[in-house]
Amino acid sequence: MKPARFSLALRYLGLLTILAISIGPFLWQFSTSVKGPAEDVFVPDFIPDDPTFGNYAAVADVVPVWSFALNSLGVASVNVVTNCLGAAMAGYALARLKFRGRKLAAVVFASSILVPFEAILISLFLVMRGLGLTDTLTAVVLPGSIAALNVLLLRNAFLALPAEVEEAAVIDGANAWQRFTRLALPSVKGTLVVVALFSFMFSWDDFLWPLVVLSDQEKYTLTIGLAYLQGTFVQNQRLVAAGTIIAVLPLILLFLLLQKHFFRGVGEGAIKG
Amino acid sequence: MTHRPYTPWLFLLPGLGVCLMFTIFPFLNMIVLAFTDASALGGGRFTGVDNFVRMAQDPKFWLAARNSLLYMAGVVPPLVLLPLLIAMLAQKVVPGIGIFRTAFFTPVIASAVVVGLIWTWLLDSRGLVNNVVEALGGTRIGFLTDSTLLLVSSMVVTVWRGLGYYMVIYLAALANVPKDLHEAAMVDGAGPVRRFWSVTVPALRPTMVLIAALSAVNGFRVFSEIYLLSGGTGGPGGASTTMVMLIQSVGRGLTGEVGYASALSFVLFVILLGLLLVTLKLNRREDQL
């Protein structure tokens, strides 16, 4: 079967080309980040002569990159908790409780998905100023703390659960909160993982909003810290490269551990752009 | 009754609160402010359509709108087509395919900032790409210093970052294309190219419309890529500024013109909503076919 083997070889050739395009830029950045001060970083050589992790320590002398990372981690972690809990509560009420105004509440969530963040950027800044929260990490977290998209994702997950189990619990005298925490929440674990992952990633990667709402360098998250680093110390690419690797490595590790959930997230409509 | 009348509202309170306070209210406020001359310090009088008249005469607005539209037009075709081709490459289960799919998705999880910095370094006047260009006998190209090339470079970055994301959507859609259609076409003697156009593309049309819409909306909203590749300046003389960059620079800081920035935001919203409605209409036509 010569033609089959030929087409397989062609397929692998294509796959390898895309592979090089996808991860080549990361490898080049990593390679730059471990090149010593004696090596010319402009020479296109992927393998460093004398690899060193010194730049990772040196970048912290220039900007407080670890405290930026800590800020990002804090913001992202809070974002995960508030999204999982707040969106699950709202989603549960929309899916499982009957009450007047339910349709209206669903419409509020659905219509807020249609509002592009960029269009309310300035207005949102004014809200934060009115609350006296500008230049705080709280202001960074709040707008995305319970995303409407996650509410609707969880609503759909709760809707898909069979009603019988809960009906039995009602007869046993369980109240709404008990049914929510003991029966409903454990049954939508899969969707919760997707919501958690994308909340973490969205928050860790966010750039525009922290850029607008933060001005004190001490409060910087990693993304705006890195943009600042590039602006001031563009001369030493080794340090910028080390900073970028610090920012991307946690997400790559998270992704490698939980990749099937990432792919599911894309399929389930983690289409928030 | 299985719960007290106020119980559902307690469940909804945090989510609804965040939604109303940080999306719906700022949105409505933005529309009101668009018709005032509010400044960063507050105040502002109702000025009717003054902001929109000013916009029509503002060359910066037209430049930014043009750049955003160009950007959208530039990224949509490659983002509809290339991920489909990649998905078709990655669709067949061959040894090691998991590694390939995972690697293709990696640029998606990296932040726009990380991606922007990586490409700034690659496209630097003395960077890797220019070294390759020179090795091939060309002269160094000002990818980041020429305002047109800066736009094109940013588009390349956006496309690069989107490939894996849309590939996953296409992979899911390809799995739903009935196999017997391909087999029937093969029996009829259709080659791979013919089958691509006559079987795959028609079956995937709704997905393609969806991806076109998503990438168009995201393309028009572009900010981070150009901001980073230009080092925060919007290119030489600000010639590569986009709509979102303009809104951010007009409305921000102590001298921020909140009223005018809101009017710009309103226009941005209307354009994005228009894109969405067009897509819905296209998809509805699909349903009728």
Encode pLDDT of B2-41 as tens digits: 688 889 999 999 999 999 999 999 999 999 999 999 888 7
Q: For tokens 């093969």, what's the residue? A: B186
Residue B48: burial class (beta carbons within 10 Å; 0-12, 13-18, 19+): exposed
**Residue B16 included in any domain:** no
| Domain-located, residue B167 | yes
Query: B163-219 pLDDT, tens per residue?
Result: 999 999 999 888 888 888 888 888 888 888 888 888 888 889 888 998 999 999 999
How many CB pairs below 8 Å do chains A and B form together? 270
Residues in B closer than 8 angstroms to A28, CB to CB, are: 118, 121-122, 128
Cβ-contact B263, A120 below 8 angstroms: no
CA distance B80 to B214: 10
The pLDDT assigned to A31 comes to: 93
Q: What is the pLDDT of residue A233?
A: 61
- Contact (CB<8Å) B3/A176: yes
Please give the distance of CA B228 from its chain centroid, rounded to a whole number. 16
Residue among B18, B113, B160 minimizing CB distance to A227 = B113
A162's tokens: 């069979």
Contact yes or no for B174/B87 (Cβ under 8 A): yes
Among residues B235, B250, B248, the alpha carbon closest in space to that of B55 is found at B250
Domain span at B194? 70-240
Which residues lie closer than 8 Å to A18 by C-beta, 6 or more apart? Answer: B86, B89, B100, B104, B163
Residue contact A19–B100, C-beta within 8 A? yes
Residue B33 backbone dihedrals phi, psi, to 5 degrees: -60, -25
Query: Coil, strand, or helix at residue B46?
Result: strand
SS3 B39: strand
Contact state of B217 with A205 under an 8 Å Cβ cutoff: no
- Residue A270: per-residue pLDDT: 43
Q: Which amino acid is at B21?
A: M
**B42 phi, psi to nearest 5 deg:** 105, -160
Q: Which two tokens stand for residue B244?
A: 């979102």
Decide if B31 is inside a domain.
no
**Within 10 A of A248 (CB to CB), how many other CB atoms are there?**
26
Task: Single out the residue of B105, B81, B54, B122 nearest to residue B267, CA to CA.
Answer: B54
Question: Residue A61's pLDDT is what?
Answer: 84
CA atoms within 13 A on the CB side of B42: 3
How far apart CA B168 and CA B84 sit, in angstroms, is: 9
Coil, helix or strand at residue B64: helix
Q: What is the CA radius of gyration of chain A?
A: 23
Q: ipTM score of the complex?
A: 0.89
> What's the 3-state SS for A42-106?
CCCCCCCCCCCCHHHHHHHHHCCHHHHHHHHHHHHHHHHHHHHHHHHHHHHHHHHCCCCCHHHHH
Q: Cβ contact (<8 Å) for B117 and A226? A: yes
Provide the number of structural domains found in chain B: 1
Q: Where does A179-258 have alpha helices with state H?
A: 185-187, 189-205, 208-213, 222-232, 237-257
Burial class (CB in 10 A: 0-12, 13-18, 19+), B232: middle
What stretches in chain A show pLDDT beneath 50?
270-273
Q: Give the CATH number for residue B148.
A: 1.10.3720.10
> How far, in Å, CA of B86 to CA of B108, rounded?
15
- Assess if residue B28 is contained within a domain: no
Provide the terminal-to-terminal Cα distance of chain A, rounded to the nearest Å. Answer: 45
B5 to each of A52, A86, A101, A107, B8, how far by Cα in Å?
Answer: 64, 20, 11, 20, 7
Domain regions of chain A by residue span: 56-267
The β-bridge partners of B46 are B36
Q: What whole-number distance in Å separates Cα of residue A268 and Cα of residue B74?
A: 27
The span from the CA of A160 to the CA of A156, in Å, is: 6
Residue whose C-alpha is closest to residue B286's, from B227, B211, B205, B181? B205
Select from B106, B161, B264 the residue whose CB has the most chain A CBs within 10 Å, as the one to mutate to test that interface.
B106
- What CATH code would you report for A56-267? 1.10.3720.10
Residues B238 and B230: their CA atoms lie apart, in Å, by 9
Q: List A residues 76-115 in contact with B (Cβ-Cβ < 8 A).
A: 82, 85-87, 89-90, 92-94, 97, 99, 102, 105, 108-109, 111-112, 114-115
Q: Which pair of structure tokens corresponds to residue A159?
A: 């809707």
B221 contacts in A (CB within 8 Å)?
A: 116, 118, 273
Residue in chain B closest to A119 (alpha carbons) equals B265
Does residue A194 contact residue A264 with C-beta atoms inside 8 Å? yes
Distance CA B103, CA A256 (A): 10
Distance from the Cα of B114 to chain A's closest Cα (Å) equals: 6
Listed in sequence order, the residues at least 6 apart from B40 whose beta carbon sits closer than 8 Å to its beta carbon are B251, B253, B254, B255, B256, B257, B258
Residue B204 lies in a domain: yes
Residues 27-56 of chain B with CB under 8 A from chain A are 27, 29-30, 33
- Are B114 and A247 inside 8 Å of each other by CB? yes
pLDDT value at residue B252 = 82
Q: Assess contact for A94 and A151: CB atoms under 8 A.
A: yes
Q: What percent of chain B has pLDDT over 70?
A: 98
Q: What is the Cα B78 distance to its own chain's centre?
A: 12
Q: Residue B42 forms beta bridges with which residues?
A: B39
Of all residues in chain B, the one with the smallest CA distance to A90 is B12
| Chain A residues whose beta carbon lies within 8 Å of the beta carbon of residue B51 | none
- Among B126, B94, B25, B80, residue whose Cα is nearest residue B219: B80
Residue pair A195/B103 in contact by the 8 Å Cβ criterion: no
Q: Is residue B131 part of a domain?
A: yes
Q: Which of B179, B5, B161, B145 is nearest to B82 (CA)?
A: B161
Q: How confident is the model at residue B54, as a pLDDT?
A: 94
Give bridge partners of residue B39 from the DSSP assignment: B42
Strands (E) in chain B, as ranges, are: none
CA distance A19 to A228: 31
HSE toward the beta carbon, residue A24, CA cutoff 13 A: 14
Nearest CA in chain B to A118: B244
Does A15 lie at the interface with B, CB-CB under 8 angstroms? yes
